[in-house]
Amino acid sequence: MREVEINKEPVELYKILKFEGLAENGGSAKLMIGEGGVLVNGEVETRKRRKIVGGDVIEFQGVTLKILLSS
């Protein structure tokens, strides 16, 4: 599990995939989310702009990201 620190919340789901290198760009991240390939907290998430906060866990293509809010 990889830990990802954010300095403000919420952050849109597609932006995290893009910034963490799991998608080439925002458009491809949105496409992957829309196709149901991303889990947030163990459930399929298809909302591209899902608001992610500290404590959320994102799973995509065998990579697990735990979101931490830095203080």
Instruction: State both tokens at 69.
Output: 């809010």
Q: Locate the domains of the chain by residue range.
A: 2-69
The contacts of residue 49 (CB under 8 Å, 6+ apart) are: 12, 13, 14
Instruction: State both tokens at 31.
Output: 């496409």
Q: What is the CATH number of domain 2-69?
A: 3.10.290.10
Give the separation between CA 9 and CA 13, rounded to whole angstroms. 11
pLDDT score recorded for residue 43: 97
Say how many residues make up the chain. Answer: 71
pLDDT score recorded for residue 71: 73
Q: What is the pLDDT of residues 7-63, one digit of tens each?
A: 999 999 999 999 999 999 999 999 999 999 999 999 999 998 999 999 999 999 999
